A and B are shown apart, each in its own frame.
Chain A
């Protein structure tokens, strides 16, 4: 086997490999012989088909098969021999592929870039410090009540915040237009879900009223033929409903896992959840800053193949988030949408991997277990989830890499200067929300796994 390597770009290599003809032919013959034993042809007893016939029938296909296998094998041999570290999949093309001649093929591949880590020493990192105060808890409970609000009919004029059920039909210049008609539509006044002005004019209407609503479609309305036009809507109000917040009682607290309806226990539970949210938020915020600093300090050329892989992954995730279902063909999504994100994620991945290997970090089974247990704490059946994670080798590796990543970040954190910044609970959470997709990915994965469990 002859191997020659060309450097086509800093991270791209073209490997040309020659395989002697005798080796190829031998492999083909061996394969054909095996076929002769196995194959059933009309007119021949099984196993009695002569080689000439076999060669005629299967010669070409078998050769192609054998050649592609040989190419793969020799590709692996070649890169080990030349000690290349490929990233992603190579594209392999045969250049000479004829019976009796040496097989020659070229493989174009990208290698992992050599990374020289630059220290991020002296980088300032803000660590938010926040206390959860009683008012935060009360606010959270209020939000929970709103989420569980119910609507009850009232015999009075509709006010802001009420929900009305209406039929409506829209006319422009006395002509009904398409899409301007609906029956039994539920509309919360003041929610701003309709054209500006529409909801305002329904304030004061009672059940049974038939007010006419005059509105002008905004100039930037999404349906172009309607934009900027004046329209009259004939409406009929069926009922007016008032929002009713649920009482904080046993029934309400049970939804959140507090059985006895004890207010203090409920508050404690809410506070516990908030604390956990806050902790993750702070952690993520710090992590994000570290990663940003790392990315800034180190400029890495990323192999196209890896970006491609990452982009595929992101697309699949996006499809899942939009609820497009399993059958959805992800290649319909444009690559450009995800390219940048994929690029930065691959960069971060490479850099963190380098940090891990530089500091010879490793994650023990105990550490992995601890991490999973912490994750599982948020779910209904923690033990099952833990078992599910640890029982599956692939999943365990995923967790392991997450643990390693955290360790790498911790290591980097030692180099950085941490500055504590105190802020309120709300501010801390908002700060965390601004950060990139990093978080949304891990949550969506958790959800997925949770379903499986």
Chain B
């Protein structure tokens, strides 16, 4: 994977109650590019944060459907990744990521 791709894979941290809970179990949640694969995400996290990644789980979030006077519409969705770090590694400054 080339250097440019590394910066395009991770879109930002995903901070929610669930993500905060996950962080206590060494899992960190990111929004990622919709065409990112697990191995790409793993390499990107290892390259950007310098931490060893154990495994990655990904899923596609669907946008909510919204109705208005103009009819029905859908918000854009995104791809989310749960990154489990290898035992003993932590991401300190998680909120500050990209």
* CB proximity to B under 8 Å, residues A50-64: 50, 52-53, 56-57
Q: Are B23 and A41 in contact (CB under 8 A)?
A: no
Question: Residues 14-44 of chain B: 1 if any A CB is under 8 Å from the residue's CB, otherwise 0?
Answer: 1111011101100000000000000000000
Q: Are B19 and A43 in contact (CB under 8 A)?
A: yes
Q: Is B76 positioned at the interface, with any CB of A under 8 Å from its CB?
A: no
Q: Are B15 and A52 in contact (CB under 8 A)?
A: no
- Docked complex Cα distance between A45 and B93 (Å): 22
Q: Are B17 and A52 in contact (CB under 8 A)?
A: no
Q: Are B94 and A43 in contact (CB under 8 A)?
A: no
- Docked complex Cα distance between A45 and B17 (Å): 8
Q: Are B16 and A43 in contact (CB under 8 A)?
A: yes
- Docked complex Cα distance between A43 and B18 (Å): 9
- How close is A256's CB to chain B, nearest CB, in angstroms? 74
Give chain A's interface secondary structure class: loop
- How close is A436's CB to chain B, nearest CB, in angstroms? 61
Q: Are B17 and A56 in contact (CB under 8 A)?
A: no
Count how many chain B residues have C-beta atoms less than 8 Å from C-beta atoms of the other chain: 12
Count how many chain A residues have C-beta atoms less than 8 Å from C-beta atoms of the other chain: 12
CB within 8 Å for A50 and B20 given contacts A41-B15, A43-B15: yes
- How close is A61's CB to chain B, nearest CB, in angstroms? 14
Q: Are A52 and B23 in contact (CB under 8 A)?
A: yes
- Docked complex Cα distance between A50 and B16 (Å): 10
Q: Are B17 and A43 in contact (CB under 8 A)?
A: yes
| Closest B residue by C-beta to A53 | B20
Residues of B within 8 A of A41 (CB): 15
Q: Is A322 positioned at the interface, with any CB of B under 8 Å from its CB?
A: no
Residues of A within 8 A of B68 (CB): none
Q: Is A448 positioned at the interface, with any CB of B under 8 Å from its CB?
A: no
Residues of A within 8 A of B20 (CB): 44, 49-50, 52-53
- Docked complex Cα distance between A49 and B16 (Å): 9
Q: Is A40 positioned at the interface, with any CB of B under 8 Å from its CB?
A: no
- How close is B17's CB to chain A, nearest CB, in angstroms? 5
- Docked complex Cα distance between A42 and B20 (Å): 12
* CB proximity to B under 8 Å, residues A15-61: 41-45, 48-50, 52-53, 56-57
Residues of A within 8 A of B2 (CB): none
* B95: contacting residue among A45, A48, A56, CB under 8 A: A56
- How close is B28's CB to chain A, nearest CB, in angstroms? 13
| Closest B residue by C-beta to A50 | B20
| Closest B residue by C-beta to A41 | B15
Q: Are B95 and A57 in contact (CB under 8 A)?
A: yes
- How close is B13's CB to chain A, nearest CB, in angstroms? 10
Q: Are B17 and A44 in contact (CB under 8 A)?
A: yes
Contacts A/B (CB < 8 Å), 8 sampled: A43-B14, A43-B16, A49-B17, A49-B20, A52-B23, A53-B15, A53-B20, A57-B95
Binding site for B on A (CB under 8 A): 41-45, 48-50, 52-53, 56-57
